[in-house]
Structure 1
């Protein structure tokens, strides 16, 4: 993590002063990302896409969504047979610009016309600025209707369907842990006053709250983690995703029966909590540039941290989800037919060469291990009304390409 002694925006300065001039990183992230007036997402300031602050798979074109739709349809048809009288919902939590749902609806309608009368799309968006952009993009003139809802409202009337968490969990506020004299402490964001101008943001240390220490200890015992790991130096730092398990519980309560697909950056605990990774994975994105200086430009940049696979799987099991498999995005998209799409590009007529080259570059970025290909696809299932597994065979994205 870069040494930070950076100017603090007026709005953040006022917020910090009100809260005693220092807060945990998780609180700083919540404000910087989701404050409705000043937050990067809450205000709608961030833009997703090739001309925005960062790209996602759907923002590169609709090939990603076309392939994903094949997997969703497989799941939806199983659910349609198992729950013949139920409406089927495709839920996108944290939909960003709305690109994914905008692209999915035509593919769902084209590939599964027999389900159209039973399908709805549900968008779960916390930030008014982002929801306004989604509503503008998603036309109401479509045979598959869209609606917006909060997870809390869905818990009151659980759905049958699929939940998509696409690059969602890695943007949850995290606790930042640091080793001091062999023990874990919590890093804080502190307002450093100045007599010569605006105050600055700096890092500070504080003790672990009892509840956080207990959560870390219990999950470490269940998963076999050792925190801090052996051999780390003083100042070794990492992240702890304390908010993931409560969200998984909310999502579980919102789904009577269905599948959850998490598509996110994640790595094994042996790599995540390693002496060879002394500064964690915390990263900020702004104007297509990545930086470790996450305190700078508060409210104007995205802040993310990779997930730990073992703790994610443990939290999913603890909240009623059954893991059914995981792989990297490149493997998932190949299983869903990516190679056939490459082949089809070669058959395009000459006057479409520019389009073919653009799509080829986008497809390559989807599977590039140094880019979006490093994303993990993790699938989970639950069915409160039936015993036994929901899927009798491996999901399509987990099979060997045919």
Structure 2
């Protein structure tokens, strides 16, 4: 996700906003208040009114936010050889076995569309064995993906749920591109000498406001366990009153569910992510939560539920702990800029210089896109994180991983 405007709201100040009727009904059924994680889930995934559930999300240069695949096909052209390298390693024990590329949360379908085209234009002997599996829980977004993918053929494509995959686990590569940042998070606030859980409630005027309650015992125990295992201190030293952060309790179940859908495979997570010492610092006093709409972030997360995206960065250490707890091996990590350069971005930039003069506009546009993909202040700061299921360590490295001698471009 790349934005023109950065966050401006402050969680240190009380938040309030109007509440639409559909959300008021959910809150009333829950007793008038819900944890922030439940509010975020409703705002994003409620099937008739949620931002993703109802298909309101608009991704691209004319939409609410830009992703790497939505800028053009160069991103996927660079990614495809990395995926083929992993699939080749997975196929060595059984050349006739079906290989799956599973994308969870495909958004508008940009990545899947371009990936099918890239794979079909390659000369890989694996093509007859590869299928594309799209996992989308929101009907509105699934309809948009199906419309886009009608434009390409040459590869078997199917939509299904992770639960359906559990009955027939696949072997292959799983892609979670800008997905985990949309998992509902808890908001933790340091108040009166203790960490408290942020809730969203209906006020007397039928509006929304935030409030705080003591941490439930289960959440408190979970935070304590992860912090001990990963050497994290919450709150960090010198945290001031009102210090706020996010905690993703949905990760262990998510990793367990994905693992159950795999016979063996590589999971590639691409998202904004920070190490714990950068995520949970006193200087990051307002957390990482963003409300996004029309290429800008800065509105209150309570503003117009269902009309804007809500997203929070990942803590790499918390994600790794969730993965290991669910039986995954933690693999490599790299910044997107490093990964794409290792996969041939510089060579692609050079090749643009060889385009004929009548294609100058195309060359300039693609050059701008390639540079945006590695911009360290934007998309280039994304982290590529890999996790292995049912596989030995080694042999499934990122091209950009230190000491990796494999070259997906060969």
TM-score by length of 2: 0.93
Matches within 5 A, 1:103-114: 103-114=114-125
| Residue-by-residue CA offset, 1:295-327 (whole Å, 9 max, x unaligned) | 101000000000101111111111121122101
Q: How far apart are residue 292 of structure 1 and its match?
A: 5.0
Task: Indicate whether 1:341 and 2:344 are aligned.
Answer: no
Q: Does residue 221 of structure 1 match 2:232? A: no
Task: Quote how far apart the aligned CAs of 1:395 are.
Answer: 3.1
Structure 1 contact 102–137 (Cα < 8 Å) conserved: yes
What residue in structure 2 maps to residue 396 of structure 1? 399
For 1:375 and 1:217, locate their aligned partners in 2 and report how far apart those are by CA, in whole Å.
28
Q: How many residues are treated as equivalent by the alignment?
A: 394
8 Å CA contact 2:86–2:396 kept in 1: the answer is no
Which position in structure 2 is the counterpart of 1:260?
A: 267
Q: Which moved more, 1:237-246 or 1:392-401?
A: 392-401
State the distance in 1 between where 2:177 and 2:210 align: 30
Q: Distance in 2 between matches of 1:111 and 1:321?
A: 31
Q: CA deviation at 1:140?
A: 7.8
Q: Work out whether 1:165 is the aligned partner of 2:176.
A: yes
Partner SS state of residue 314, structure 1? helix
2:61 is matched with which residue? 50
1:238 equivalent in structure 2:
245
Structure 2: unaligned runs, 5 residues or longer:
1-9
State whether residues 116 and 143 of structure 1, in contact with CA within 8 Å, keep that contact through their aligned partners in structure 2.
no
- Three-state SS of the structure 1 residue aligned to 2:92 is helix
Aligned position for 1:70: 81
The separation in 1 between residues aligned to 2:124 and 2:373, in whole angstroms, is: 28
In the aligned structure 1, how far is the partner of 2:228 from the partner of 2:93? Answer: 37
Paired with 1:396 and 1:269, the residues of 2 have a C-alpha distance of: 25
More divergent stretch after superposition (292-301 vs 129-138): 292-301
Q: For 2:271 and 2:345, locate their aligned partners in 1 and report how far apart those are by CA, in whole Å.
A: 19
Aligned residue among 95, 118, 121 for 2:106:
95
Matches within 5 A, 1:191-340: 191-194=202-205, 199-340=206-347
Check whether the contact 1:74–1:396 (CA below 8 A) recurs between aligned residues.
Answer: no
Name whichever of 1-10 and 264-273 sits farther off.
Answer: 1-10
Moved more, 350-359 or 9-18: 9-18
Hey, what's the Cα distance between the residues in 1 that align with 2:218 and 2:92?
44
Partner of 2:6: none
1:8-47 map, 5 Å: 8-47=19-58
Structure 1 residue 141 displacement after superposition? 6.0
Instruction: Give the distance between the partners of 1:393 and 1:157, measured in 2 at CA.
Output: 23
Which residue number in structure 2 is paired with residue 185 of structure 1?
196
**Alpha-carbon distance, 1:124 to partner:** 0.2
- 1:131-180 Cα deviation digits (max 9, x unpaired): 00111111286221100010011112111000000000011000000111
Q: Which residue of 2 aligns with 1:146?
A: 157
4+ runs of 1 displaced by more than 6 Å? none
Residue aligning to 1:135: 146
C-alpha offsets along residues 201-225 of structure 1, whole Å, 9 cap, x if unaligned? 1110011111111111111111111
In 2, distance between residues paired with 1:91 and 1:247? 15
Q: Do residues 83 (structure 1) and 90 (structure 2) align?
A: no
Q: CA-to-partner distance for each residue in 1:259-291, whole Å, 9 max, x for gaps?
A: 100001100111111111111000011011111
Cα-Cα RMSD: 1.6
Native 8 Å contact 1:71 1:397 kept in 2: no
Q: Find the aligned partners of 1:286 and 1:341 in 2 and give their Cα distance.
A: 32
Distance 1:309 1:89 in 2: 26
Matched position secondary structure for 2:255: helix
Secondary structure in 1 matching 2:228:
helix
Distance 1:207 1:168 in 2: 29
Q: 1:112 to 1:18 in 2, by over 3 A?
A: same
